[in-house]
Structure 1
Amino acid sequence: MNDELMDEVTRGARALVVYPQMRGPRGQMADLDVDARLEEAKGLALAIGLEVVEAMAIVIREPRAATLFGEGQIQNISVACTLHEAELIIVDGSLTAIQQRNLEEKLKRKVIDRTGLILEIFGERAATAEGRLQVELAHLDYQAGRLVRSWTHLERQRGGFGFLGGPGETQIEADRRLIRDRMAKIRRELEQVRRTRGLHRDRREKAPWPIVALVGYTNAGKSTLFNRLTGAEVMAEDLLFATLDPTMRAVRLPGLEKAILSDTVGFISDLPTQLVAAFRATLEEVTAADVIVHVRDMANPDTEAQKRQVLDILADLGVMEPKIDERALRRKEQDDRVIGWGRDDEEEEGPAPLIPIIEVWNKWDLLAPEQIEALREAMSHRDGETIIPVSALTGEGCDDMLAVVSRTLTLGSKVYSFVIPAADGQRLAFLHARGEVVAEEDAGEGEEGPLLRIQARLSERELGRFTSL
């Protein structure tokens, strides 16, 4: 683990999770399922091997600038730590450097916030050189504002240089300068990675295979579905952020020779801003997709809130037009909780996808019969949306999903006629792989030898790619 945050805590340490539940400006509670939020926080802690001994929500009416919590609430946290012998306190929210330091002084235990916890997970899981660079950049960005936590030695001054009078550079200024220099170096290296990724994407767009990207909330079952469809052995465990680095494999689709399936990092609510920026290069893979498969965990009671988080991030990436009616979505979530799984009689206008999106309602095998019945009823009211129920674990519905993906890729296609030299293997392979060849016949001789007249059904996007070859 990161030494700065967890210098006295090891895997297996006993942790107390505290979720600060904020009241709105008019006294209303935040529109979140508290139990689901606590379960998610516990899952984040378990993902780095911590033992969660207790999880509690504390209502914050007026956040304290110095400690976030009030004195009585801090005392309650201290009692809970003593009762459960907790060595570490995880605050499932954002803490300033001062709040973190003051809480540690009052509680006599290590304290980390949600951002620090997620950074620890990413630090453990990043497998590629690019992933490690992104994690280091995010860590440095997070630590740059928290050097105050190192207390006294950072206030010492170094002597002045040459004939310049006055105080020298303080240790904290020197440390910040070193961090800035290192961050600048990492950003240059990541920019090179982005350029390389861009070249790879350009090459893939000219390749005769469509790209299907799996996206979804963390632990929704993307990697399990990826393994089921491709026969790969990507890490797929019941852990948050089991996948951090994008993985691509070929998959066969009905009516198409093959497609490239991409497994991406899971999204999460309140993702640290440092990670949103640092992992943009990884998430940019989604923007090159021909079809996006949004995998949802339908066994999670907070699945509608998770969907909103995913759509928000897709909008940030430029995949969706930012037309989300937040108020309507919150009202819909409340209705869903009241009646179990929701009804969509008055569906509000949501974000408009710029890339076709298929919703996969996963973990069907974990649902009770009455939940399945309610979900099927909800599906019948989702006009204009493509929804497929599946179980990535058992394989139920996976063939239907592949058939729908194939139809989506060929939707709106038309038959075009081309005359191509018989020796032009690249363009011939493209038409056979990315389109449906309706007819093929000799077209005489040309300057480059024998010609073929081919009639093929292509979508507008594939026609654009073909003409660029």
Structure 2
Amino acid sequence: MQPARAALVGIDPGGKPDFAESMAELGLLASSAGSEPVMTLIGKRAKPDPAYYMGSGKATELREQMDAHQADIAIFNHALSPVQQRNLERHLKRHVIDRTGLILDIFAQRAKSHVGKTQVELANVRYQVSRLVKAWSHLERQKGGIGMRGGPGETQMELDRRMLENKAKRLQAELAKLQKQQATQRRARERRDVFSVSLVGYTNAGKSTLFNALTKAGTYAADQLFATLDTTSRKIYLPEAGQAVLSDTVGFIRDLPHQLVEAFRATLDETVRADLLLHVVDASSFDRQQQMLEVDKVLAEIQADQSPQLIVVNKIDRVPALMARGPVLRYHRDGRPAAIYVSAKDGIGLDLLRETLAEIAKNTARMKPSEETSSVADFEQEVPVKRWESLDFYHSRTGVYSPHDA
């Protein structure tokens, strides 16, 4: 089956520094969903048009370009209202999907476990409920009379909404049951005093590759967005600290749909309850600083922003300056580990990472949470940098050194 030929559409409101990176990311998302991007249309508009999001003239230009490129589907890098989506589909005479719908489609394709599938289905139902507001003309017809569903005068839209809301309640109850099972497993670990570590980070930062390298688990890892959706936990041995549990979780992304954050509470509970978060950062990404901030936004939304963090700068094999320096551990001024530089693919720095985790595990019981908490802001505060291209200067100013120099 041939992949759908997609037109990528972005409207720049002006003053958005990461607009270009966001559009590049949209192309990766479209490819991850199984589409083939064949054209890109970019416009500028300070305020979205209520009817088309873009102006009517730009919508006509989009239709003409889609005809020329034989594009089957228009993918917008924005959240469209139901009315905007309906109007665009009528004007373009093609299917239209927004960023939220695209991410939900990828999640639906990738979820494997019962928990993951239930979470994605719940997010999809909530999204469909939001699409019912005057979305289609057939929803305005009324149903009533003998043998018809609903009472007299009840509209088709109301019936559909009630059906979806009942389905959402059922899925929510099912997820609550699954969360109770997970809570029981966590309590068992806590009784055994097992140190728990959770991998977090922007999608495609290399979390699953790092997870496999540390645990030899052999879980699926690929150079694509949202390769991992389901939480996987494995035991690891830390020198002089004993056993710990490492969990790999779903990656985050800018403008992550709220429906997904809410639905994935069961998966993200491992993050909230972890003794330590390994915040994995892609060293080769030009947008890494913004990606770190996006991860912190989601952590704040799930109330995990105060959890202790160790930043793991991964993929140093793709950055010659970092590769020449090799694995490095950087400390805060108070002596706590702040960031470690590794290549999970090549195994560079993993021994240093294990030693660092062991040291943190041994000290965790003796430290107050407020003394151990670190974040992107803490990591960046000593020498403000606009972009991480100045990493070498940044480290020379703040004194990067290995633990053997301490």
The normalised TM-score by structure 2 is 0.83
Separation (CA, whole Å) in 1 of partners of 2:86 and 2:326: 47
Shift of 1:149: 7.1
Shift in CA distance, 389/315, structure 1 to aligned 2, threshold 3 Å: same
How far the C-alpha of 1:245 sits from its partner, in A, is: 0.6
Correspondence 1:141 to 2:126: yes
Deviations 1:370-428 (A, max 9, x none): x66899999689886611111111011111111111111112666xxxxxxxxxxxxxx
Aligned pair 1:263/2:248, yes or no?
Answer: yes
- Alpha-carbon distance, 1:133 to partner: 1.3
Instruction: Quote the residue 1:14 is aligned against.
Output: 5
Cα contact 1:211–1:289 (8 A) shared by 2: yes
With over 3 angstroms needed to count, the CA separation of the structure-2 counterparts of 1:129 and 1:239, relative to structure 1, is same
In structure 1, C-alpha distance between the alignment counterparts of 2:289 and 2:326, rounded to whole Å: 12
Matches of 2:125 and 2:201, distance apart in 1: 27
2:40 match: 55
Deviation at 1:298, TM superposition (A): 1.4
Q: For 2:234 and 2:327, locate their aligned partners in 1 and report how far apart those are by CA, in whole Å.
A: 31
1:86 paired residue number? 71
Task: Name the counterpart of 1:75.
Answer: 60
Instruction: Name the CA distance, whole Å, in 2 between partners of 1:376 and 1:232.
Output: 23
Contact 1:161 1:168 survives alignment (8 Å): no
65-74 or 372-381, larger mean C-alpha shift: 372-381
For the residues of structure 1 that align with 2:325 and 2:331, how far apart are their CA atoms?
10
Q: How does 1:158-173 map to 2 (within 5 A)?
A: 158-160=143-145, 167-173=152-158
Question: Could you tell me how far 1:58 is from its partner in structure 2?
Answer: 2.1
Query: Within the alignment, does 1:401 sit opposite 2:353 as a pair?
Result: yes
> 1:295, 1:45 → 2: CA distance?
24
CA shift, 1:156, in A, is 2.1
What is the CA distance between 1:229 and its match in structure 2?
A: 0.9
Where do 1:215-364 residues align within 5 Å? Answer: 215-320=200-305, 354-364=306-316
Distance in 2, Cα, partners of 1:183 & 1:380: 46
Q: Is the alpha carbon distance of 1:122 and 1:382 closer, same or farther for their aligned partners in structure 2, counting shifts above 3 Å?
A: farther
Query: CA contact under 8 A between 2:107 and 2:229: conserved in structure 1?
Result: yes
Return closer, same or farther for 1:177/1:11 CA change in 2, 3 Å cut-off: farther
Alpha carbons of structure 1 residues 11 and 92: separation in structure 2 relative to 1, 3 Å: farther
Q: Which amino acid aligns with 1:276?
A: V
Q: Identity of aligned pairs, percent?
A: 42
Shift of 1:129: 1.3
Aligned counterparts of 2:37 and 2:101: Cα–Cα separation in 1: 16
* Residue 37 (structure 1) shift: 1.2
Tell me the residue number matched to 1:189.
Answer: 174
Q: Aligned equivalents of 1:186 and 1:124: distance in 2? A: 18
Q: Secondary structure of the equivalent of 1:37?
A: helix
Give the distance between the partners of 1:358 and 1:289, measured in 2 at CA.
12
Q: Distance in 1 between matches of 2:362 and 2:94?
A: 58
* Equivalence for 2:372: none
- Three-state SS of the structure 2 residue aligned to 1:411 is helix
User: In the alignment, what sits opposite 2:400?
Assistant: none
Q: How far, CA to CA, are the matches of 2:282 and 2:140 in structure 1?
A: 49
Partner Cα separation in structure 2 for residue 378 and residue 203 of structure 1: 33
Between the aligned partners of 2:258 and 2:365, the Cα distance in structure 1 is: 40
- Deviations 1:293-332 (CA, angstroms, capped at 9, x unpaired): 0000111111111100111111222222xxxxxxxxxxxx
Q: Would the alpha carbon gap of residues 378 and 290 (structure 1) be closer, same or farther in structure 2, given more than 3 Å must change?
A: closer
Residue in 2 that maps onto 1:368: 320
- Partner of 2:348: helix, strand, or coil? coil
Distance 1:374 1:42, change over 3 A: farther
Alignment check: 8 A CA contact 2:329 2:338 kept: no
Contact 2:281–2:292 (8 Å) recurs in 1:
yes
Normalised by the size of structure 1, how large is the TM-score?
0.73
AA matched with 1:404: T
Q: Are residues 99 and 382 of structure 1, via their aligned partners in 2, closer, same or farther at CA, if it must alter by over 3 Å?
A: farther
- The match for 1:207 among 177, 180, 192 is 192
Q: Match of 2:11, as an amino acid?
A: P
- Aligned partner of 1:440 in structure 2 is none
- Structure 2 portions without partners, runs of 5+: 370-406
Task: Determine the C-alpha separation between the residues in 1 that align with 2:262 and 2:60.
Answer: 37
Report how far residue 75 of structure 1 moved: 2.5
Q: 1:173 Cα deviation (Å)?
A: 1.3
Q: What is the identity, as a one-letter code, of the residue corresponding to 1:13? A: A
- Tell me what 1:31 maps to: 17
Q: CA deviation at 1:269?
A: 0.9
* Structure of greater Rg: 1
Aligned position for 2:375? none
